[in-house]
Amino acid sequence: MPDCFADRLATAVKETSTPLIVGLDPRWESLPSCFRDDGADRATAYRDFCLGVIDVVAPLVPAVKPQAAFFEQLGWPGMKALAQVIAAARERGLLVIADGKRNDIGSTAVGYAEGWLGAESAWGADALTISPYLGDDSLEPFVQTARDRQAGLFVLVKTSNPGGRFLQDQQSDGQTLYRRVADWVEGSAAEQLGDCGYGATGAVVGATYPEQLAELRVAMPHAWLLVPGFGSQGGTAADVAPAFDDRGLGAIINSSRAILFAHARPEYASRYGEAEWQRAVEEATRDAIAELRAATSAGKL
Amino acid sequence: MPDCFADRLATAVKETSTPLIVGLDPRWESLPSCFRDDGADRATAYRDFCLGVIDVVAPLVPAVKPQAAFFEQLGWPGMKALAQVIAAARERGLLVIADGKRNDIGSTAVGYAEGWLGAESAWGADALTISPYLGDDSLEPFVQTARDRQAGLFVLVKTSNPGGRFLQDQQSDGQTLYRRVADWVEGSAAEQLGDCGYGATGAVVGATYPEQLAELRVAMPHAWLLVPGFGSQGGTAADVAPAFDDRGLGAIINSSRAILFAHARPEYASRYGEAEWQRAVEEATRDAIAELRAATSAGKL
């Protein structure tokens, strides 16, 4: 029996000494031109690019987070590429958090849960992001499946985009909606704690709202937080500091574009450029790790 | 330039004289045994079963609604089957509403929107269901893409499951959250009306809450309503009557299991059984159409 997801994540964070995870968000127009010029179809280019990123980051970070949307955009060949990317990442020892933001009503949610979660499932992800609008009974099948398969979940609580306020920030019965979801997440997480002190049900909380991040860390003491929005979306290492406990655990911080397409960033372009795009990925990853170590309790890892 | 989605849907409903649509929700354990016994892999069985359903229902109903979850559960081979099912349905003249309940933040939502919507997209669906928890700025890319491609959207407003109340029924500023989403849908729908009087942005409103269905029909006079929960989930033809305008337009009523697996329902099993499962599908479809005609303004079509 493998360890529960929460403990596997804690172990991976400690072994790599960083909470940084790399989002695999291939975008055609941003790929190094070697992937766009050789006549390969887009799905193959996405796969090969992501495999190249995985080669570089596998020794450096605990997990990758493939974004389903970009693969799905290409139809089933894109989904086949996604499956290959997930398998390659797992083979390299990375945890894989599939960013699908899936959900449906109960009996249909089972389909998503069983398909995505667990090493023996069709997609073989270690964890999945899910959306709560359909309600608590739509989340339960994911919790059950995650428990059965030692997998993890990250429920959308407070997202990094400005429009998140449209529903998430609405006040009801004296609390925000995002807090209502957070309370559910905490209840679920606390039901099945790993040795690390966290549960299998976690929360997505954006880096762009540091005040809410601090509030939600306190509200969900037993939930791993998956924090997007660091880097290209404007969240700084200081902004994400409140996401951690005092051991440097409890949060993983995602960076996608700032790492994947580092070859085009001014600070790396002049030294590496497109031809050495993997060296740019490596240096951007190391720089992000250093930033997080300097500004957060992840420095204690 | 084809007609806008709202008008294509109105035309299809009028031509078939019914608002009934058939949900394509293949479930392994419910398939007629001929699909389970012959050693075919599950993805092939799902495809062949759905193609058999499409053969029967294409002359009878305006649209089908494939449920992404069940295909996705099988990994990329399932997604390939889904693509084949969508293409076959369109070839038979059916409109295709992909039930994916997708969403992400803006720049990523574009990936889902462009992938799913429009005849030239990877999946080639006429419309897609989407989830609003991420906020209004996450819905806009879908509206834009739908407009560009004469496609449609159905935003989750009030779902058919009991747990929908967890967020949707919360009161904020004197109104429910589902009403807040409904007001956004109405605003979006009214911006681009077809000749039929409805727009490309519609709403998912469950059959199991007739009172809210009536409220939401009034709140969204320019939005097509996609109504799940009729049949197996307990919604009756009388329950969905408030969804229609007085021409019998403005709503489409989904039935999945009650039609797909009619061969196992007591009222059809004795006459048809598994061997004649397609005749059971046909009779269940005709019976559902008749029920809706008798109990709703769809009788005027």
Tens digits of residue pLDDT in B9-57 = 999 999 999 999 999 999 999 999 999 986 779 999 999 999 999 999 9
- The mean of the pLDDT values for chain A is 96
Nearest to A76 among B67, B76, B101 (CB): B76
Interchain proximity A171–B172, CB inside 8 Å = yes
Q: B177 and A180 in contact by Cβ < 8 A?
A: no
- For residues B11 and B3, the answer to whether their CB atoms sit within 8 Å is yes
> Does A169 contact chain B (CB < 8 Å)?
no
| B132 near A CB under 8 A | yes
Give the minimum alpha-carbon distance from A63 to chain B in angstroms, rounded to a whole number: 20
pLDDT tens per residue across span B59-74: 999 999 999 999 999 9
**pLDDT over 60 (residue A73):** yes
Query: What is the reported pTM?
Result: 0.98
Question: How high is the ipTM of this complex?
Answer: 0.97
CB proximity under 8 Å: A 193-252 to B: none
User: For residue B244, which phi and psi values (nearest 5 degrees)?
Assistant: -100, 155
CA distance B157 to B160: 10
- Whether A294 has a pLDDT exceeding 90, the answer reads yes
**Type of residue at B104:** D
pLDDT at A188: 98
Q: Chain A contacts of B166, Cβ < 8 Å?
A: 132, 135-137, 180, 184
Domains and CATH numbers, chain B: 5-294 (3.20.20.70)
Quote the mean pLDDT of chain B.
Answer: 96
| Cβ-contact B254, B227 below 8 angstroms | yes
pLDDT of residue B299 exceeding 60, the answer is yes
B71 to chain A, closest Cα gap in Å:
8
Q: Residue B7: which pLDDT band, with cuts at 50, 70 and 90?
A: very high
Q: Write phi, then psi, for A98 (nearest 5 degrees).
A: -75, 120
Is residue B138 less than 8 Å (CB to CB) from chain A? yes
- List the catalytic residues of B: 101
| CB-closest option in B82, B111, B159 to A134 | B159
Which chain B residues are closer than 8 Å to A171 by Cβ?
172-173
Positive or negative, the CA dihedral B268, B271, B274, B280 is: negative
Task: Check if the beta carbon of residue B114 is closer than 8 Å to that of residue A27.
Answer: no
Contacts of A209 in chain B (CB under 8 A): none
Taking the CA atoms of B73, B104, A143 and B232 in sequence, report the sign of the dihedral they define.
negative
Smallest Cα distance from A99 to chain B, Å: 9
C-alpha B50/C-alpha A297 separation (Å) is 53
Q: What CA–CA distance (Å, rounded) separates A99 from A72?
A: 12
Tell me, what DSSP letter sits at residue B160? S
Shortest Cα distance, chain B CAs vs residue A183, angstroms: 12
* pLDDT tens per residue across span B209-222: 999 999 999 999 99
Residue in chain B nearest A117 by alpha carbon: B73
- Predicted confidence (pLDDT) at residue A2 exceeds the cutoff of 80: no
**What's residue B2's pLDDT?**
66
pLDDT at A37: 80
